[in-house]
């Protein structure tokens, strides 16, 4: 709310809501009366790669789930391209945290990716060859087409993450919500994910990515949201990703501040 850029976007959002991929108004979420997210007001502009950054327990995953209607909102509303999610499901793809599913489930990588086409197929209709073909192409895009028939427990962490990304790609959405896609992946996968994000951006897509590694924020993302139950700041990385804002976001967490200091020193903006 402190950022000027954010205010500007906010104002235009009300004039042309359909141009705004994700608009969140006065969102509050509470778990058993304990508020996790407070008065979230956000507008994410089209075609940006947006990092959602904040300490553990700041409500980053909760914010993603709240946007997707996976947890009840205490108050507020969420609009994708000016409309509620139920009218825009095809436009929104979700990449959950890798640990959120059981990787011993008896299905192949291709099966998982094919699940991304289910909303396209609709209730009760069967999966057809063309849907599997789309899934195969998505696996190709993330560079693991050769692993299509592998049972998912036999994939490495990075490969599992790529399967999840392929599943989001196959939906051919306009907006991508990703929950820590970079968590515990190998260097090759990290490079692959970054190039994938850039490709999405080139094609005019927008992505909101929960990100932990403060050192790479400026390198990978052009827009940043700093979250700690409330929005600390939101706007272009250049103006928002500052020592002052990071201190406000991370409070007294020294180790993380040190990490942030390191990240900022690389930018030539020392923390203190």
Partner 1 sequence: MEWYALDSWIVLTGALCAIACALPGTFLVLRNMSMMGDAISHAVLPGLAIAFLLSGSRSSIWMFVGAAVVGLITALATQWISHWGKVDRNASMGIVFTTLFALGLLIIVQAADHVDLDPNCVLYGALELTPLDVVAEWTWFGLLIELPRAALVLAVVASINLLIICVFYKEMKVAAFDPDLSEAQGFRAGWMHYLLMAQVAVTTVAAFEAVGSIIVVAMLIVPPATALLLSKRLGMVLFLSATLGAAAALMGHLAAIHFPPLLGFNGTSTAGMMALATGFLFVLAWLKHLMFN
Alpha-carbon span 22 to 147, nearest angstrom = 34
CB of 108 to partner 1, least distance (A): 7
CB of 180 to partner 1, least distance (A): 14
* 111 vs 180, beta carbon nearer partner 1: 111
CB of 111 to partner 1, least distance (A): 8
Residue 10 has which token pair?
A: 């906010």
CB of 92 to partner 1, least distance (A): 7
Alpha-carbon span 42 to 93, nearest angstrom = 19
Residues that bind partner 1 (CB under 8 A): 32, 65, 68-70, 86, 89, 92, 94, 96, 100-102, 105-108, 111-112, 115, 118-119, 121, 123-124, 126-127, 151, 153, 167
Alpha-carbon span 132 to 139, nearest angstrom = 11
The phi-psi region of residue 84 (left if phi > 0; otherwise alpha if psi is between -120 and 50; otherwise beta) is beta
Closest to 100 in 3D by CA, of 61, 155, 158, 56: 61
Neighbouring CB atoms inside 10 A of 165's CB total 28
* 148 vs 260, beta carbon nearer partner 1: 148
The answer to whether 148 and 155 are in contact (CB under 8 A) is no
* 69 vs 251, beta carbon nearer partner 1: 69
* 68 vs 183, beta carbon nearer partner 1: 68
CB of 167 to partner 1, least distance (A): 8
Q: 76: part of which helix (H) or strand (E)?
A: strand 75-80
CA R_g for the chain: 19
* 171 vs 234, beta carbon nearer partner 1: 171
To which residue do tokens 């180790």 refer?
255
């Amino acid at each position: 709310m402190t950022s000027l850029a954010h205010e500007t976007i906010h104002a235009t959002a009300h004039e042309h809501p359909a141009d705004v991929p994700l608009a969140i108004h006065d969102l509050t979420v509470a778990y058993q009366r304990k508020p996790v997210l407070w008065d979230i007001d956000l507008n994410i502009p089209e075609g940006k790669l947006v990092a959602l950054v904040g300490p553990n327990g700041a409500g980053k995953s909760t914010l993603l789930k709240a946007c997707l209607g996976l947890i009840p909102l205490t108050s507020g509303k969420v609009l994708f391209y000016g409309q509620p999610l139920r009218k825009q499901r095809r436009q929104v793809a979700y990449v959950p945290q890798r640990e959120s599913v059981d990787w011993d489930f008896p299905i192949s990588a291709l099966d998982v990716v094919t699940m991304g086409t289910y909303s396209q197929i609709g209730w009760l209709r069967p999966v057809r060859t063309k849907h599997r073909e789309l899934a195969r192409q998505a696996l190709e895009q993330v560079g693991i087409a050769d692993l299509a028939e592998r049972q998912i427990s036999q994939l490495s962490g990075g490969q599992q993450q790529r399967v999840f990304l392929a599943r989001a790609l196959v939906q051919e959405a306009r907006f991508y919500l990703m929950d820590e896609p970079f968590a515990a992946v190998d260097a090759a996968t990290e490079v692959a994910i970054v190039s994938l994000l850039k490709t999405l951006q080139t094609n005019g897509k927008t992505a909101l990515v929960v990100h932990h590694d403060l050192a790479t924020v400026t390198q990978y993302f052009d827009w940043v949201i700093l979250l700690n139950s409330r929005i600390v700041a939101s706007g272009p990385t250049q103006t928002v990703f500052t020592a002052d804002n990071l201190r406000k976001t991370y409070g007294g967490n020294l180790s993380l501040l040190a990490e942030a200091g390191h990240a900022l020193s690389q930018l030539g903006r020392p923390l203190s």
